[in-house]
Chains A and B, each alone.
Chain A
Amino acid sequence: MSYSEKVIDHYNHPRNVGSLDKLSNDVGTGLVGAPECGDVMKLQIRVNRDTNVIEEAKFKTFGCGSAIASSSLATEWVKGKTVDEALSIKNMDIVKELSLPPVKIHCSVLAEDAIRAAISDWKKKQETAKPLAVEAK
């Protein structure tokens, strides 16, 4: 099996590698793993509280080229989108964009899971942060 050009490009020049402060209130962290291959993927987003727009996204993935490319692409796609828009990204969109073969579909599933997990983590933080904000007033 050979990787598509887009996968190789993301693999050689991964976008947005790094990490954000996971304790920060406007940061959501998604950590997911694929037992089929032992991959582990961390995806983080920084969300603007007023606009709900994802202004920054970082990832770090330990895994195969397809997993790295899927998460790299995922960070590119979520940036500039609102949280709700980002939730509409489907794993098959990633499969199409990267021309992933069937045996690598789980990598795209992982990337979608990571986006959802990060957003869910961020949402949880906003729920717990709200009462505090009300009290402050």
Chain B
Amino acid sequence: MTLTTITAKPAPEETQTCWSCGAMRASHFCEACGKVQPPAPVDYFTFFGLPRKLNIDVVALDKDFYELSRKLHPDLNARAGSQEQGWSLQQSSRLNDAHRVLKDPIKRTEYLLKLEGVELEEQSKSATEKARATGQLKEQVVPPDLLEEVFELNVQLEELRMNKKMGEDDPALVEEIGRQKLELEQKHEALLEELKGYWKQWDALIDREQSGQSVSQDERKQVRDKMVGLLNRRNYIRNLVRDVSEALEG
């Protein structure tokens, strides 16, 4: 059985010789003698032999994952030397981490942004510093209309908590908050679809790069920033939905 991605042609810098039989090998184990190789310090995309693109064939990923799991499983290598067993264990745990992150659309995007050097809080701070220096108003990550909505909803939640404390009941308020919660959840879902649109833009840049065309830092940054903004909005809504649920149940 062949792996769909791992057997893809390795980049020259990833090509090394097997510690055991000396054959050239692509990745986690030697294709000639099957021995597990010491883990290479690579990111999760490279681990699966994937380019840093966001639209991933999850079915193929899962397939590679299960196949690799079997081949790298420490139990299967129980008869191997202790060093090889250790590598097997390390590779397995890295495999699990990589699979968990790449499988999930949000975690995958966040991971890629991290690889691209995005630090969310750092960004907010430097934007404030820029606003201070230029006198220009800082562009808020969360758009104004969403902020208004969040603020009003919080006012209502406060009222709801107060009511509960006093043992009072306000069915109309509970209903209104429930309705807004539903709306937020829909918005939360819709943002995932919007994110997929940005994936396309990002992947197109990577494709261009791989075909030898140049991609400017600005182009990368533009798509990156759009994804950062969207994830921030999404997290914001997620936290709010959590608060609403707590207040309704509490």
Distance, CA A112 to CA B151, complexed state (A): 18
- Given A42-B151, A113-B140, A116-B137 in contact, is the A34-B124 Cβ separation under 8 Å? yes
Q: Do A106 and B138 have beta carbons less than 8 Å apart?
A: no
Distance, CA A62 to CA B243, complexed state (A): 11
- Interface extent on B, as a size class? 20 to 34
The verdict on A16 contacting chain B, using a C-beta distance below 8 Å, is no
Q: Do B124 and A33 have beta carbons less than 8 Å apart?
A: no
**From A32, which residue of chain B is reached at the shortest CB distance?**
B140
Q: Is the interface of A mostly helix, strand, loop or mixed?
A: mixed
Q: Do A38 and B128 have beta carbons less than 8 Å apart?
A: no
- Interface extent on A, as a size class? 20 to 34
Distance, CA A42 to CA B232, complexed state (A): 19
- Given A62-B154, A113-B140, A116-B137 in contact, is the A35-B233 Cβ separation under 8 Å? yes
- Given A35-B232, A35-B235 in contact, is the A90-B132 Cβ separation under 8 Å? yes
The verdict on A105 contacting chain B, using a C-beta distance below 8 Å, is yes
Q: Do A40 and B151 have beta carbons less than 8 Å apart?
A: yes
Nearest CB of A to B62, in Å: 31
Nearest CB of B to A81, in Å: 16
The verdict on B9 contacting chain A, using a C-beta distance below 8 Å, is no
Distance, CA A5 to CA B154, complexed state (A): 27
The verdict on B6 contacting chain A, using a C-beta distance below 8 Å, is no
**From B142, which residue of chain A is reached at the shortest CB distance?**
A33
Q: Do B131 and A116 have beta carbons less than 8 Å apart?
A: yes
Q: Do B236 and A106 have beta carbons less than 8 Å apart?
A: no
The verdict on B191 contacting chain A, using a C-beta distance below 8 Å, is no
Contact pick for B137, options A38, A112, A117, CB 8 Å: A117
The verdict on A99 contacting chain B, using a C-beta distance below 8 Å, is no
The verdict on A135 contacting chain B, using a C-beta distance below 8 Å, is no
Q: A residues near B, CB below 8 A? A: 31-38, 40, 42, 60, 62, 87, 90-91, 105-106, 109, 112-113, 116-117, 120
**19 extra interface residue pairs, beta carbon distance < 8 Å, beyond A40-B151, A117-B137:** A31-B148, A32-B147, A34-B124, A35-B120, A35-B142, A35-B232, A36-B120, A36-B124, A38-B243, A62-B150, A62-B151, A105-B121, A106-B124, A106-B125, A109-B124, A113-B140, A116-B131, A116-B137, A120-B137
